[in-house]
């Protein structure tokens, strides 16, 4: 279902979380009050519930902050703002990564940025769907072109994880960490995920579409289909409001800082910081590669970004890929 212009106008009016009468909304939209009611009911399917109280009118169940390109750019430093070739905000899209990958094949330049209020086919790791109601979270992708082939950027997702934690710490969020290879976690629960899709010549130019999904607000009813423990920034921050446009701007600023320099520095520039943010070092865990399972204690990552695990026989294994499942029950 696509959001209509009338629904977008209604959302803009109700975004403050206050009551607005049906007559006020009808006048602004130039429609009947019954048409307003129908448009509001249509928003329920987008994950935007509302309340109606006789004598008061309508209000959203919670305030929302819609994405605004100008407000986002205000939170980038001048150097990184100049690196953005385009910034698009979609009300609804299948996937920001899929969209930018399509543009990349049409020779779109580095610095193409795409955000969405809602995705219908958001992609997580191993084909999982990324769940997010309209206007609630961060759904972001950036296209960047590199000169030396996919092998030269094989550890990019680890550096991108560092960039995400840097952005969160700038906003006073210090309870987030990294789970190898590309997840953002807090106290044993998933907060966000990174998905990087690379295409191009083995030894020549290539491009990477870096996608980030980060939970700012995820209601329990929307998260019912998620098959792992999850959290959002609202819970981590203890209800302290976090501006969605500010968050998007800080994230883009830090992501661009990594993307513009990674081909020169590689993982080495981020290795110590990644290890500082590693939330599973020392934990008992299992690594799954296809049908194979390896058990042991995690010992961080090596200089190439491979995950290190010591098994019961004191053998140290290094994994270039795999799915990690940890055992400790976090509070």
* 61/291 Cα distance (integer angstroms): 44
The DSSP symbol for 119 reads B
Would residue 190 show up in a list of annotated catalytic residues for this protein? yes
List helix spans (H) across the chain: 5-14, 22-29, 33-44, 69-73, 78-81, 96-105, 156-170, 233-236, 244-265, 271-277
Would residue 327 show up in a list of annotated catalytic residues for this protein? yes
**CB-CB neighbours of 275 under 10 Å:** 12
* 190/183 Cα distance (integer angstroms): 7
| Catalytic position from the list 38, 125, 240, 310 | 125
Do 316 and 298 form a contact (C-beta atoms < 8 A)? no
Nearest to 261 by CA among 75, 82, 80, 78: 80
Do 196 and 157 form a contact (C-beta atoms < 8 A)? yes
**HSE-CB for 134 with a 13 A CA cutoff:** 23
SS3 315: coil
| Catalytic position from the list 166, 190, 244, 257 | 190
Do 323 and 288 form a contact (C-beta atoms < 8 A)? yes
* 171/178 Cα distance (integer angstroms): 17
Phi, psi of 276 (to 5 degrees): -65, -35
Catalytic residues: 125, 190, 327
């Amino acid at each position: 279902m696509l959001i209509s212009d009338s629904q977008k106008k209604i959302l803009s009016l109700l975004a403050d979380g206050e009551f607005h009468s049906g007559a006020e909304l009808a006048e602004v939209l130039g429609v009947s009050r019954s048409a307003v009611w129908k448009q509001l009911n249509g928003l329920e399917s987008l994950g935007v519930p509302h309340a109606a109280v006789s004598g008061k009118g309508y209000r959203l169940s919670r305030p929302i902050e819609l994405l605004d390109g100008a407000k986002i750019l205000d939170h980038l430093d001048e150097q990184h703002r100049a690196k953005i070739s385009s910034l698009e905000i979609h009300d609804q899209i299948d996937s920001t990564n899929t969209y930018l990958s399509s543009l990349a094949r049409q020779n779109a330049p580095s610095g193409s940025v795409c955000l969405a209020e809602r995705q219908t086919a958001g992609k997580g790791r191993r084909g999982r769907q990324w769940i997010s109601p309209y206007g609630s979270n961060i759904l972001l992708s950036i296209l960047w072109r590199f000169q030396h082939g996919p092998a030269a950027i094989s550890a990019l997702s680890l550096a991108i994880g560092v960039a995400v934690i840097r952005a969160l710490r700038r906003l006073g969020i210090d309870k987030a960490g990294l789970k190898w290879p590309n997840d953002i976690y807090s106290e044993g629960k998933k907060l966000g995920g990174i998905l990087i899709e690379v295409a191009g010549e083995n030894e020549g130019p290539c491009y990477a579409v870096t996608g980030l999904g980060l939970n700012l607000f995820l209601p329990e009813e929307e998260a019912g289909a998620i098959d792992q423990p999850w959290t959002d920034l609202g819970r981590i921050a203890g209800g302290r409001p976090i501006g969605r446009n500010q968050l998007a701007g800080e994230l883009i600023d830090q992501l661009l800082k990594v993307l513009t320099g990674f081909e020169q520095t590689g993982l080495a520039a981020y290795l110590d910081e990644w290890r500082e943010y590693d939330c599973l070092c020392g934990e008992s865990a299992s690594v799954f590669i296809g049908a194979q399972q390896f058990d042991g204690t995690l010992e961080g990552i090596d200089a190439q970004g491979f995950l290190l695990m010591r098994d019961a026989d004191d053998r140290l294994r290094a994994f270039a890929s795999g799915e990690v499942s940890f055992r400790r029950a976090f509070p």
